[in-house]
Structure 1
Amino acid sequence: MNNSTLSDSCPSTHKHTFPILGNLQVTVTPTYNPFNLPLDVLFSMAARINKKRSFLFVSKVLGKHIPVHPYTSMLSGASLALLLYRELIGREYQAQTDALLEQAIQGLRNPELAEEAYKKIIHAQLSSPVPLQFIGFAETATALGHSVYEVFADQAAYIHTTREDLPALTSVINFDEEHSHAVAHRCYARHSGLLTGEEIVVLVDDEMTTGKTSLNIIRDMQAKFPRSTYFVASLLDWRTEQDEAAYAALEAELGIAIKPLCLLKGSMSIEGAVELKPSDTALPDGRGDARVNVLHMGEIFPSIEAASVDSAGQLNDSPYLLATGRFGMRSQDNAAAAVQITEIARRLRGMRTREDSHTLVMGTGEFMYVPMRIAAEMGGNVVYQSTTRSPIHPSRGPEYGIQSGYGYPSPDDPGTRNFVYNVDPDQYEDIFILFERDVPPERAEPFINLVKKLAKVNVHLIFFTGKRHDWKVLNA
């Protein structure tokens, strides 16, 4: 990468060995660190219940598995956007972004500076010299992809892939994420012109391990919407020389350029192993007296009618939000969505037990970015995370990334187990759970009963579409 201020050095270029559980350990050797960030700013480690890979880099900036300052997460996406912008404008114009880059670095290092850094980048109104199509990978990178896209004031569009099956719609892109526990990705574009082949495509994922997911989508896209250039942006890039050779081979085969961007690149080696079974942290008996408040906000955001079908064949006909990007959105849509987010944040802020109460805002599944943005505007002492499909083993060991974990059947699909990590009883006075769509109360009951045992005072259920059911039964 050609630039004037970014470093390709690392604060510690020697190997970093992370003991995880038992005799399992991972050794990381950084090779590229453009923001010169300490590794512990970006991630910690945990054991994962997955036959294909037994450990997980637990991101400290993503806002998925563990609570983070919402502006930290948004800034991580904005930082990737700055790296992309510098690639697009050419070296002779890069000095104009030096101050923004320095603020991004300081904001990532210090959460107290993240809000100011993020707002400076957004207010810069960066203009892309070429049309850009951003694609965020579900489930984990839907918010990250949106955060990268929203930095660009014009000539940008965003869509994220989904694991949800919408039988009445046709997916324009189909590919598999081979290492994941939920491999199939779909992509439902509301406008047929969203992908034309004229845009530069920017694929956004939280982590590249082998990079095969990106190769799979590029191959599918190139057969349908051929173009010359793809960027692949991620927080972490662990591809080996063999993996990089696979990228070069696909470039040569298809006659395209594939350009990676990341906050940290390196190599890793694994020693030892650990045998794990799914394990939830036990909650104390006699808890569960937090008050449940239910609010439907269907009148705030525009929505789209689309029914989903779960693994058991049951339909949910509650609409989806347009502001998530699941069906595609463009730069000109951002201003209206920002007004709507601010209005909802104002309402939810007034529902907090106190102005400074310890508050957790939770997105659910793929519904991450809108809740994250709302959390950012709800005042101080607010952190954000999302529920997840990832089965991670909790342990109270020092420096271990996942200290507690609770599993439950997903309200959207009881055949899928979801998890909440690193939330302890009485840690938060208020827990806000933001659902994109209404679901039957009986499906959500296991999740709600769990969160009632975690919140100290209030659990707030916020639904954005589909007032289909009577939720009064929860406090009966």
Structure 2
Amino acid sequence: MNKLAYKVLNDLDVDIEVTGNPFNLPIESIFQMAARINKKRSFLFVSKVLGKHIPVNPNTSLIAGAVLSILYQKHLKGHLPYSIEQVITAIVDPANANHVFHMIKSNTLPLCEPTIFIGFAETATALGHSMFDIFSGPAKYIHTTREMINEVNPTLDFVEEHSHATSHRCYPLYEQFFQGEESIVLVDDEITTGKTAINIIRDLHHKHPRARYVVASLLDWRSDEDKQRFEDVKHELGITIDCLSLLQGKITVSGGPVESLVSNKGISTPNANAEVLHYSLDKYFMHIPFSSTNTYGETKTESYLKHTGRFGIDALDIPNLDESITRSANELKSYRRGKRTLCLGTGEFMYIPMRIASEMGQGVAYQSSTRSPIHPYAGKDYAIRNVFPFDYPEDPSINYFFYNIPHGTYDEVFVMMERESRPEKLFSYSEALKKTGIPIIHYVHFNN
């Protein structure tokens, strides 16, 4: 067992006892710590591989999902066409990530039983999709969403225990999506208590019962009491639940939440000379003419993409999506005007932007905006150095953030948004982007 102590901020301390690390991943390559602005939970394991709060090589994030695929394939005793050591090198050294991802993508894992993968919004939408993407065979994928879709009723509706935004819904395009007896694999970046996973298992089993569930995560910090809760649910429902993770352990927290902090919040004068450009990639993708309603009761009529995972996707759809991604990346690559490029996904819309970023050439970093509020602090080993808040264009009542963009780091940023927003709705986002000092802002939307 490996014991680690983290002094997060002020008197907030987190001690970790690592009890499982099946691939012997260096812990420092997986996460850093930060203080969360959330009274339910005062700290956050900030992933260094998700492509959310910390900019990454986009291939590294895609490989993180593939490592979960390998873990699941080993659990099933299925065939592996390459060694796990080859894949782990790309997590430890991003310089290998492009080569390793192409190797993985060219050698998919044959899935030996029908499976539905479900990614949790918002942080695991891309993680779940990249796990699903590595398999060939009878696989489907869907991610939960916090969007309120008007034209279809949610098949699943459940709550998240520790989140600042708690409602999750699933909107499969086809009513029969969950009606089989396939194994369900729930994918999240982190399990703390497991209550959210239990909530969706209960809802799923009540509506579409089946025998087998798997929870796959990068991190698993459940206590003995939490693990017993899983055992109780297994016996109550007469099912199996297997939990797989890249890192497992127990955490002890001391000190209170950080209420306020005087720090580098990334606030500066917006660059009035920043060049703002707009592009559409709608011609490369299939769309669904669904609308949404925000918390003000306003309706947004711009269409959604069909194959993001929000409405379900089948393994047979992967080749068409791959082609759409490559064509989009080639177009955006032609618009690049610098050697240091950031691609920025938006909220739940992570996987397609991540894949596009991975094919846009050298010198491209990827991260995503998020609802997750975190205290910034420019201290050694602290995960969040600065923050740029803005109003979400589709719902100004929701605060969004992007993090960790030191002034002068990038020559340009490609902001990828699934649905187009009117210029006035983008004002807050644009002002935040201009504060980064990035001289060229490319807005890219995908709907028609």
Per the normalisation by structure 2, the TM-score is 0.97
Q: Which residue does 2:239 correspond to in 1?
A: 256
Deviation readout 1:297-325 (Å, 9 max, x if unpaired): 21110000111000110010000001201
Deviation readout 1:246-293 (Å, 9 max, x if unpaired): 000000000100011111000010111243238771433363322001
Q: Which residue does 2:327 correspond to in 1?
A: 343
> Do the aligned partners of 1:238 and 1:267 also contact (CA within 8 Å) in 2?
yes
Number of residue-to-residue matches in the alignment: 447
Give the secondary-structure state (helix, strand or coil) at the position aligned to 1:406: strand
CA distance in 1, matches of 2:324, 2:168: 29
> Do the aligned partners of 1:278 and 1:391 also contact (CA within 8 Å) in 2?
no
Unaligned runs of 5+ in 2: none
Give the secondary-structure state (helix, strand or coil) at the position aligned to 1:166: coil
Query: What is the correspondence of 1:417-436 to structure 2 with a 5 Å cutoff?
Result: 417-436=399-418
CA distance in 2, matches of 1:396, 1:427: 16
Query: What is the correspondence of 1:10-89 to structure 2 with a 5 Å cutoff?
Result: 13-88=1-76
Q: CA deviation at 1:216?
A: 0.3
Q: CA deviation at 1:23?
A: 1.2
Q: CA deviation at 1:444?
A: 1.2
CA distance in 2, matches of 1:410, 1:350: 28
Residues 1:450 and 2:428 aligned together: no
Could you tell me which amino acid in structure 1 is paired with residue 280 of structure 2? H
Q: Which residue does 1:205 correspond to in 2?
A: 188
Match of 2:204 among 221, 224, 227: 221
Could you tell me which amino acid in structure 2 is paired with residue 343 of structure 1? R
CA distance in 2, matches of 1:114, 1:264: 21
Query: What is the correspondence of 1:259-278 to structure 2 with a 5 Å cutoff?
Result: 259-277=242-260
Query: Superposition RMSD on alpha carbons, in Å?
Result: 1.4
Residues 1:281 and 2:296 aligned together: no
Match of 1:291 among 275, 278, 286: 275
Q: CA deviation at 1:359?
A: 0.6
Q: Which residue does 2:219 correspond to in 1?
A: 236
Q: CA deviation at 1:196?
A: 1.8
> Do the aligned partners of 1:290 and 1:453 also contact (CA within 8 Å) in 2?
no
Deviation readout 1:317-361 (Å, 9 max, x if unpaired): 00000120100010110001101100110111111113xx11100
> Do the aligned partners of 2:270 and 2:432 also contact (CA within 8 Å) in 1?
no
Give the secondary-structure state (helix, strand or coil) at the position aligned to 2:123: coil
Give the secondary-structure state (helix, strand or coil) at the position aligned to 2:284: coil
CA distance in 2, matches of 1:82, 1:36: 14
CA distance in 1, matches of 2:197, 2:430: 36
Residues 1:401 and 2:389 aligned together: no
> Do the aligned partners of 1:309 and 1:315 also contact (CA within 8 Å) in 2?
yes
> Do the aligned partners of 1:288 and 1:453 also contact (CA within 8 Å) in 2?
no
Q: CA deviation at 1:192?
A: 1.6
Distance 1:196 1:278, change over 3 A: farther
Q: Which residue does 1:3 correspond to in 2?
A: none
Residues 1:173 and 2:148 aligned together: no
CA distance in 1, matches of 2:103, 2:279: 33
Distance 1:204 1:227, change over 3 A: same
Q: CA deviation at 1:193?
A: 2.0
Q: Which residue does 2:110 correspond to in 1?
A: 127
- Percent identity of the aligned residues? 43
Deviation readout 1:174-198 (Å, 9 max, x if unpaired): 1100110110101000012211232
CA distance in 1, matches of 2:362, 2:37: 35
